[in-house]
Homo-oligomer: A and B are copies of this chain.
Amino acid sequence: MNLTEAIKRPTLHEELVERLRNLVVEDALKPGEKVPEKDLCESFGVSRTPLREALKVLASEGLVVLQANRGARVAKVTLEELENTFPVIAMLEQLAGELACRNLSDAGIAQIQKRHDAMTKAFVARDRKAYFQANQDIHNALIEGARNEILESHHRMLAARVRRARFMVNLSDERWAQAIEEHEQMMEKLRARDAEGLGQLMKTHMMNKYAAHVKAMTDAPDGAAQR
């Protein structure tokens, strides 16, 4: 261990970026809504300064939209945005898959296998919450396994935007089964350390997810998504 490592104390605005991002991603702050600066300051017990700093960062990530003299609004999840976001995140996942295959330890792969099994169990039990959690754990582990902080940070930003979209549609049984099947194939490639193969699958997996979202949103366009 490196004893000279800088000690990390979180500053208020860093905390706030995290907390606010969660509020947006977890849909506590709804798309299009105004961000209630005053209320948030009170409930977090901070002044406006650090909160506003955090909002600037969130704006640069595209989670909120700032209008001069009219404050911040939670960015809407539009079909157009998803159309733009998914291809980009798909490329990043492809790269992550390739790198993870090369950089993960055997133990790391075993760990992911375990999570994969948990996810399969959740699918069989039709436990959506557990499924989402395990699914996200797997993707995060693969991204981390790529050992590339730039990739990781950009993926995190995009994933936040995409993750919000799940509140707009239901996961169809059909797509659910397909996703599980795709993950099954991904595990095969990972165990075989087929970098190209895993990368390709992860890219396709993401684009299939996109297609499912578009289909669900188009079928039931009464959600928040508008062109």
Task: Report A's interface with B, CB cutoff 8 A.
Answer: 6, 8-11, 13, 17, 49, 52-54, 56-57, 60-62, 66-68, 81, 84-85, 87-88, 91-92, 94-95, 99, 148-151, 153-154, 157-158, 161
Contacts and interface: CB of A to CB of B under 8 A. Distances in A.
Nearest to A56: B53
Given A13-B56, A154-B157, 13 more contacts: A8-B68, A49-B49, A57-B57, A60-B61, A81-B150, A84-B150, A87-B99, A87-B151, A88-B151, A91-B91, A91-B92, A91-B95, A154-B158
A92 B49 CA distance: 35
Given A60-B57, A61-B60, A94-B91, A67 B6 contact: yes
Contact of A53 (B10, B52, B150, B157): B52
Contacts of A81: 150
Given A6-B67, A11-B68, A67-B6, A153 B92 contact: no
A153 B63 CA distance: 13
Contact of A62 (B6, B17, B91, B150): B150
A142 B12 CA distance: 40
Contacts of A67: 6
How many chain copies does the complex carry?
2
Nearest to A151: B88
Contact of A88 (B8, B9, B148, B157): B148
A88 B52 contact: no
A153 B52 CA distance: 22
Contacts of A161: 150
Contacts of A99: 87
Contacts of A56: 13, 53-54, 56-57
A66 to B, nearest CB: 8
Contacts of A154: 88, 154, 157-158
A163 to B, nearest CB: 15
B158 A84 contact: no
Nearest to A66: B11
Contacts of A57: 56-57, 60
